């Protein structure tokens, strides 16, 4: 049982809740996710099972895409609607589409972001949310992130009675990006309190929301003895890496952890996927000093 399940995480559940339930459904402890989603965020949560747990970090580093909304006119301590209201300022004149587009563009590219107090980032050995729950505010150094695109999905709506404006967006960003902080930073550009009012992750680890299955789907697949129909093999999860099909002699070499010469792949790409008899058995990394490919991730037991 080795592969990746593109799980749809429902709102109201933690990522740990999903792992806990899947361990019971699949009767295995060898399960890991590829980056948490807050309880109030739904969407794609790739789950690695068996040998695939070795690639969790690789899937985590892939870009992520979200869709959601930013509401202007109010701010919360958690930067989403789960927290306490800390600021309010009426929006009397709604932003134009052109103005919104210009502001979103300012938050793209390589930027520095201060992680929110309600986050799992560790400072002095403690998670920031632990300080926040005690009412403490700790200095956080800004961290580099990359936002490749930040755009509107449809025209913003203006609530004249509540004096708020809601912007509907799609953002593609790097690992470690806090989208709720992007929402707050959007408001700071125009000196208006802002909050991330909804968020759905639509792509992560190379998997899209259309590929996702629910916990109930996984349970049914196990009951029907067809788990393979919803679990993607390593070959699919690692499809982004150039593949080399091994012959028997090279399979013997890698099964003993040996190095492979650069003739294996003429372009000497940084990482290659090694398949044997249709199954992915390893990732090898190019060593530029020795001009050889060396073991990087091994999945010899993947059958």
pTM over 0.85: yes
81 and 167 housed in the same domain: yes
* Residue of 2, 17, 38, 82 marked catalytic: 38
Closest C-alpha among 120, 68, 70 to residue 91: 70
Same domain, 107 and 165: yes
From 153, 180, 202, the end of a domain falls on: 202
What is the C-alpha to C-alpha distance for residues 256 and 264, in angstroms, rounded to an integer? 17
Q: Do 111 and 162 belong to one domain?
A: yes
Q: Are residues 132 and 154 in the same domain?
A: yes
Q: Based on the domain organization, do 178 and 75 belong to the same domain?
A: yes
Query: Are 25 and 112 within one domain?
Result: no
Residues 163 and 99 in one domain: yes
179 within some domain: yes
Residue carrying the six token digits 């109201």: 12
CATH number for the domain spanning 81: value is 3.30.2350.10
How far is 33 from 49, CA to CA, in rounded Å? 9
**pLDDT tens-place values along the chain, 303 residues long:** 889 999 999 999 998 999 999 999 999 988 988 878 888 999 999 999 998 999 988 888 888 999 999 999 999 999 999 999 999 999 999 999 999 999 999 999 999 999 888 877 888 888 888 888 888 888 888 999 999 999 999 999 999 999 999 999 999 999 889 999 999 999 999 999 999 999 999 999 889 999 999 999 999 999 999 999 999 999 999 988 898 899 999 999 999 989 988 666 556 688 999 999 989 999 999 888 888 899 999 998 766
Question: Is there a single domain that holds both residue 80 and residue 191?
Answer: yes
Same domain for 229 and 161: no
Domain count across the chain: 3
Is position 251 within any domain? yes
Both 217 and 186 in a single domain?
A: no
Q: What is the pLDDT of residues 26-47, one digit of tens each?
A: 999 889 888 788 889 999 999 9
For 108, the domain range is 64-202
Would you call 38 a catalytic residue per the annotation? yes
Please indicate, yes or no, whether residues 195 and 71 belong to a single structural domain of this protein.
yes
The reply to whether 140 and 11 lie within a common domain is no
- Output the pLDDT for position 2: 87
């Amino acid at each position: 049982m080795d592969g990746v399940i593109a799980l749809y995480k429902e709102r109201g559940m933690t990522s740990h809740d999903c792992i806990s339930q899947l361990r019971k459904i699949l009767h295995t402890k060898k399960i890991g996710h590829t980056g948490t989603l807050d309880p109030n965020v739904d969407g794609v949560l790739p789950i690695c099972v068996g040998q695939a747990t070795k690639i969790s970090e690789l899937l985590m580093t892939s870009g992520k895409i979200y869709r959601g909304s930013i509401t202007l006119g109010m701010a919360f301590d958690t930067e989403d609607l789960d927290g306490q209201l800390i600021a309010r300022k009426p929006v009397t004149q709604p932003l134009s589409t052109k103005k919104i587009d210009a502001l979103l563009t300012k938050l793209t590219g390589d930027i520095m972001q201060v992680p929110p107090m309600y986050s799992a980032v560790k400072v002095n050995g403690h998670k920031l949310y632990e300080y926040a729950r005690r009412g403490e505010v700790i200095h956080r150094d800004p961290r580099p992130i990359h936002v490749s695109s930040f755009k509107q999905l449809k025209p913003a709506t203006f609530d004249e009675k509540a004096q708020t404006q809601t912007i509907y967006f799609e953002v593609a960003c790097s690992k470690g990006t806090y989208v709720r902080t992007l929402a707050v930073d959007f408001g700071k550009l125009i000196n208006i309190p802002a909050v991330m009012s909804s968020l759905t992750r639509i792509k992560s680890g190379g998997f899209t929301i259309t590929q996702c299955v629910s916990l109930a789907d996984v349970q049914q697949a196990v009951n029907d003895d067809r788990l393979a129909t919803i679990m993607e093999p390593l070959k699919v999860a690692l499809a982004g890496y150039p593949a080399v099909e091994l012959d028997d002699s090279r399979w013997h070499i890698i099964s003993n952890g040996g190095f492979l010469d650069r003739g294996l792949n003429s372009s000497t790409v940084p990482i290659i996927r090694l398949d044997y008899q249709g199954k992915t058995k390893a990732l090898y990394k190019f060593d530029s000093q020795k001009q050889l490919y060396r073991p990087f991730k091994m999945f010899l037991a993947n059958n």
